[in-house]
Structure 1
Amino acid sequence: MLGFGLLLLLCLQNVAAWYSDDDLMSFVTVSGAGPSCLCPELDGGSANLRILVQLPDVRAVKFDITYQDRNRVAPGYWFVSPYLHISPDEPTSLYEQYQVGPHIYDQDGHLIWTGSPVFDNRNVFDFKVIHSIGNEPHISLILQYTIDGSERGYGMILDKNYEVFKKVPLRQDLGLFDIHEFNVLKDGKTALATVYLNEEISLAEFGRPEEQTWLETGGFAEIDLNTAEVTYEWRSYNQIPLAETVHYGPSSAVEGPPGWDYVHINSVDKNDNGDYLISMRFTNTLYLISGVDGRIIWRLNGQHNGDFEQDFTFSKQHDAKFLESQGTRHIISFLNNASDEEYAEEEVSSALIIEVESGTFPMTARVLRRYNRPDGDLTRLRGNSQVLPNQNMFVCWSQGGYISEFSVEGDPLMSARFTSPRYSNYRAYKFEFTGRPHTPPDVVSSVIGTDESNLVTTFWVSWNGATDIAYWNFYAQASQFDKPVFVGNVSKTEFETMFIAKGYLDWVTVEAVDRDGKAFGISKVHRTSFPNWETSGWNGYSSSPRPNNPATIHQDDSSTTADGWTSDEDLLPTADDPADAQIRKATLMLMNTYETMRSIGGLFALVLLLALMSGIMASFMLIRGWRVRLYQRVPMEARYPD
């Protein structure tokens, strides 16, 4: 019974690795990280049981998801970039667990790819798929500047293998690479970036000619992707008067550098005519800028008199993009925040699609579609909207990673947000995408058992970034020179998959298979880790077990069910006596409990697990004085302004 108790405790401890945290995912296999070490040891010769669990540092944020009508949502993956603070963290934060940066999730909230280790746990913004370079999809993103100024930030393009294709700097006199926009244009040759610069100006416009203040001007640059040369640039000062700002007034106090952020540009797009559409958050205005001479062609103002007769208002808007632009008629989408850190002009934020006609007199602007934030709240900072290929609307409401999808008719279909309120997301997108990492799948395996009759090998496998895995095939071989033997398979549902095979299998590999049954990736050969048999409750005939020859214990198809999947019953050895039968039954119950926990939902599973673990832990704490190390949370995000 002691041996079985230790076995039960070890397995529960390993299962708890996935469910002990309510807002962050944990993994055994990520980026070649070491195995989960199921190694009970006697600490310093005492009777205290010490279980070493080595987990990789990737802790992806979890989602809470609600579907109103899943059948109508568009296909695709979520492209999000969680961050804790909008500004770069102090250098010491580089050594926190990998949590922020670019991530891809499926529509069940399962992680597909994490790029946090690739970008050193740094903030990444505007993370999305682009189709304008060659015949293959690519990924574009903004890698934020570092707090010490050692790196000024970049626009980056990755290929479908998640490897850097282009790294685009901003010309040094244009300052740091801004986090708001990296818009690769349709020709695939240039990209647009927002620009923030500082200069000292006179306040004569406000009737204070004897006074000067520093001003943070907003502008944009068009950058050649091959040479990084700036092919066009524009700045707001001397184009947009101080009087247009809603953030400052004639009596505002002067400021030192960086100065008044009087327009706050947050998006830029370009149409086929060569003109530019920009959004200025602190003037509540969209501007069309001439690509010939930089003049303002027209202003669409959200709150005051602009150049249009319009049937709607908006304010503090983000992410204005052309959906169509033909001559004088433009279809534009944007997020109407309707509020900022200080004021709210409306009761709820919304995503808008509008029609602008500048060829009539008077010029007109009208709403074609409106999508109100489903929870009736306001997005005071950041956010974006995206029209999907099936005309559904996908919206990021920013704070807490809140995202929504609507049908073309305006029906809410899905809402999701990060389980942890500590994280936010500037922009989120949804795309169909096929990722093919060059790295092989990661596999970890461990063996446990109390004697030769009940040894089992547990596999964990993941492949960071592979999008179209249907199931995994598992193989073992007697030595590195022997032919691999098929030992079972299991369908892939989450980022990391667990599989249990009978016997002590030492040399193991795992193969990824797509929906058409085609194998397209295989792991490196991995050696199975094992516990300290002397202290693990081993009661076998020898002092330690020897690995099994998989060709002997998996020599026929009797261990597979009719549809080809391995049966839980057949993973365990046959019992020859009542004691072995009890161990077999209990171990099978544990395996089934694990699968049940995965299927009934995180919260209920967590409650059940905590209750079970509390009883076991309390018993051992009373008997052996076991001390538990608790997870330490990361502090809440500071609410810094943009």
Structure 2
Amino acid sequence: MFWTGLLLLFLQHVVAWHSDDDLMSFVTLPDVRAVKFDITYQDRERVAPGYWFVSPYLHIEPDEPTSLYEQYQVGPHIYDQDGHLVWTGSPMFDNRNVFDFKVINSFGNEPHISLILQYANDDSERGFGMILDKNYEVSRKIPLRPDLGAFDIHEFNVLKDGKTAVATVYLTEEISLAEFGRPEEQTWLETGGFAEIDLNTAEVTYEWRSYNQIPLQETVHYLPDSVPEGPPGWDYVHINSVDKNDNGDYLISMRFTNTLYLISGVDGHIIWRLGGQQNGDFAQDFIFSKQHDAKFLESSGTRHVISFLNNASDEENAEEEVSSALIIEVESGTVPMTARVLHRYNRPDGSLTRLRGNAQVLPNQNMFVCWSQGGYISEFSSEGDTLMSAQFTSPRYSNYRAYKFEFTGRPHTPPDVVSSVFGTDETNLVTTFWVSWNGATDIASWNFYAQASQFDKPVFVGNTSKVDFETMFIAKGYLDWITVEAVDRDGNAFGISAVHRTTFPSWEASGWTGYSSTPRPLNPATIYQGDGSILATEKASEDGFFSVADGTADAQLKKATVTLMNTYETIRSIGGLFALILLLAVMSGILASYMLLRGWRVRLYQRAPLEEGLPEEEAQLRPGMDD
């Protein structure tokens, strides 16, 4: 008893340590564990349409290679507004970190997706800016010129002309501390800059660096007596966003100077500063600090409307009590030049975002904000009302930037399907289908088909609505060769799975009591009508199958269906190891009770061989800094 109790205590701790209650799991994608969201809607009717584009990560730096062998969790993901997964790109990118994952409408004739694939842990790859089409296939894979270092995680901004993109750049060099009155000393300096890159050739068409443009005195991260550092050196400005207006000038955000800068596209000089230790060049009615994601909303002549996230703090200090998303108006044609707040959206929980984040103005003028830690996101009306807030169920994960877009995804890969058969005798056999289609956005329902062999015509056996990433459907009878078809809201079929074989248990070990030693698959045409309903009468077959005239079979089918569905949902809602222990215990109890009642002797588990001459089951398709 002592050792049993000790074992249970140990298992309890193992379960607690490895529990993945905060992650989704799927029968059709067994290697994937997607983060869950906890969502609160204050006014669902006023939120903008669209999907959430998020990139959860566990660590801001690349993980060790061993993480590649874990369940797929991090990387680019699309969710609907109920928190249901729509697409996971984690397998596509080998469980590596991805940043700045969003829809772009300026590349080609239809929407695309852009993202940053972070450099590899072993530096075998230096990272890329990437563009995917609506089929989630790579259209562009843009490296950064080798002398500009690794592709930085902060920004890959495809510009309105669709021909170039701007990216942030981090470089290091050794400098004198003469600016701080210490000419005899030197330190390494991490300079922030940006590059504009041609999307067809990967050539750098424009580049800019902060050193010799932004003096050391503008940093708020170091003091005149700060200790010199070796490579990479002082991160004295920390650039985290860049945008370009129609006039050809660049807006950049420097987190460690608390300043937005407008840089000339002609000669690279600083046209104006907004914010900073010396209050910049503007008379303004607000402050901001440690900001992120400064973007032009309008820019014409001397008037600019800009959105950004005002973090108002870093890991050490806070200049304000709450972080906010701001929309500001800058006018550089007046004397003095002026800047004022047009809209302010305070973080709903009244707290501070000390690292990362972004702010996105949606087409209906709502504001969508990522507060970063824990994947915390919010949507506000243009009037400032909080409409929705959500965060990852697990605090282990964070998200640098999150976006919301309308998007139609049509993957070239077919839907993923798994099917299995269950029953104790010929009267209650049921076939369970699981289906998902990673990345397909406009599925309204699924059609289910079965056929007597790979050469027979498919028979329609039912339809059910799609309400989650993965759908389960249970059909009467042992159905072997199965396919599943996706249907849109207009009733049009637009994607069909490959033909799959249904898996079956070891009938002897599972408690089979039928008239035949093992059941054989049915010809679906003998039990299903053209509309998927069960035929009114079922004739006995020469293979020993029979029907019952009363409602016994239907009652048993209903009971089995409810049991299967409850078991399935229970397994999905609890941790993996605990689920395994629970399932083994339940199965053992059922088997022991059944054998006791029947007077059976315990037999060793054996796998029943496939019927001679039947082909094997077809293989499932599988796709291929701190701030």
* TM-score bracket, shorter-length normalisation: 0.7 to 0.9
Q: Does 1:445 align with 2:444?
A: no
Q: Secondary structure at the match of 2:24?
A: coil
Which AA in structure 2 matches 1:184? V
Which AA in structure 2 matches 1:526? H
Contact 1:404 1:414 in 2 (8 A): yes
Q: Which residue of 1 aligns with 2:53?
A: 79
Q: Which residue of 2 aligns with 1:334?
A: 308
Q: Deviations over 1:229-282 (max 9, x none)?
A: 100000000000000000001110000000000000000000000000000000
Of residues 114, 124, 129, the one that matches 1:155 is: 129
Q: CA deviation at 1:578?
A: 9.7
Q: CA deviation at 1:590?
A: 2.1
Which AA in structure 2 matches 1:23? D
Contact 1:473 1:511 in 2 (8 A): yes
Contact 2:237 2:254 in 1 (8 A): yes
Q: Which residue of 2 aligns with 1:587?
A: 560
Q: Which residue of 2 aligns with 1:25?
A: 24
Q: Deviations over 1:53-102 (max 9, x none)?
A: xxx21100000000000000000000000000000011111111100000
Q: Secondary structure at the match of 2:231?
A: coil
Q: CA deviation at 1:189?
A: 0.4
Query: What is the 5 A alignment of 1:246-257?
Result: 246-257=220-231
Q: Which residue of 1 aligns with 2:16?
A: none
Which AA in structure 2 matches 1:58? V
Can you give the 5+ residue segments of structure 1 that lack an aligned partner in the other structure? 1-19, 31-55, 562-572, 625-639
Q: Deviations over 1:571-596 (max 9, x none)?
A: xx976689868744532442564699
Q: Does 1:559 align with 2:533?
A: yes
Q: Does 1:414 align with 2:399?
A: no
Q: CA deviation at 1:531?
A: 0.6
Contact 2:254 2:260 in 1 (8 A): yes
Q: Which residue of 1 aligns with 2:3?
A: none
Instruction: Give the RMSD, CA atoms, in angstroms.
Output: 2.7
Query: What is the 5 A alignment of 1:260-409?
Result: 260-302=234-276, 304-409=278-383
Which AA in structure 1 matches 2:148? L
1: CA distance, partners of 2:214 / 2:33: 45
1: CA distance, partners of 2:419 / 2:124: 41
Of residues 453, 459, 472, the one that matches 2:446 is: 472
Of residues 421, 425, 430, the one that matches 2:404 is: 430
Q: Deviations over 1:329-373 (max 9, x none)?
A: 000000000000111111100000000000000000000000000
Which AA in structure 2 matches 1:422? R
2: CA distance, partners of 1:592 / 1:176: 49
Which AA in structure 1 matches 2:626? P
Q: Which residue of 2 aligns with 1:641?
A: 626
Q: Secondary structure at the match of 2:306?
A: strand
Contact 2:165 2:199 in 1 (8 A): yes
Contact 1:24 1:61 in 2 (8 A): yes
Of residues 93, 113, 137, the one that matches 2:111 is: 137
Give the direction of change, closer, same or farther, for the CA distance of 1:320–1:153 in structure 2 (3 Å limit).
Answer: same
Contact 2:325 2:369 in 1 (8 A): yes
Q: Deviations over 1:440-487 (max 9, x none)?
A: 111110001111111100000000000000000000000111100000
Give the direction of change, closer, same or farther, for the CA distance of 1:467–1:287 in structure 2 (3 Å limit).
Answer: same
Q: Does 1:235 align with 2:209?
A: yes
Give the direction of change, closer, same or farther, for the CA distance of 1:556–1:232 in structure 2 (3 Å limit).
Answer: closer
Give the direction of change, closer, same or farther, for the CA distance of 1:286–1:503 in structure 2 (3 Å limit).
Answer: same
2: CA distance, partners of 1:578 / 1:73: 48
Q: Does 1:101 align with 2:100?
A: no
2: CA distance, partners of 1:592 / 1:234: 59
Q: Secondary structure at the match of 2:369?
A: strand
2: CA distance, partners of 1:310 / 1:482: 75
Q: Which residue of 2 aligns with 1:548?
A: 522
Which AA in structure 1 matches 2:21? D
1: CA distance, partners of 2:268 / 2:60: 31
Give the direction of change, closer, same or farther, for the CA distance of 1:250–1:560 in structure 2 (3 Å limit).
Answer: farther
Identity %: 82
Q: Which residue of 2 aligns with 1:213?
A: 187
Give the direction of change, closer, same or farther, for the CA distance of 1:481–1:330 in structure 2 (3 Å limit).
Answer: same
Q: Which residue of 1 aligns with 2:149?
A: 175
Contact 1:302 1:313 in 2 (8 A): no
2: CA distance, partners of 1:621 / 1:539: 13
TM-score normalised per structure 2: 0.86
Q: Does 1:89 align with 2:63?
A: yes
Q: Secondary structure at the match of 2:187?
A: strand
Count matched residues: 569
Give the direction of change, closer, same or farther, for the CA distance of 1:324–1:579 in structure 2 (3 Å limit).
Answer: closer
Of residues 148, 152, 173, the one that matches 1:199 is: 173
Contact 1:575 1:581 in 2 (8 A): no
2: CA distance, partners of 1:611 / 1:92: 26
Q: Which residue of 2 aligns with 1:61?
A: 35
Q: Which residue of 1 aligns with 2:470?
A: 496
1: CA distance, partners of 2:246 / 2:105: 17
Contact 2:218 2:277 in 1 (8 A): no
Which AA in structure 1 matches 2:563? L
Q: CA deviation at 1:377?
A: 0.7
Q: Which residue of 2 aligns with 1:632?
A: none
Give the direction of change, closer, same or farther, for the CA distance of 1:436–1:579 in structure 2 (3 Å limit).
Answer: closer
Q: Which residue of 2 aligns with 1:520?
A: 494
TM-score normalised per structure 1: 0.85
Can you give the 5+ residue segments of structure 2 that lack an aligned partner in the other structure? 1-18, 536-545, 596-624
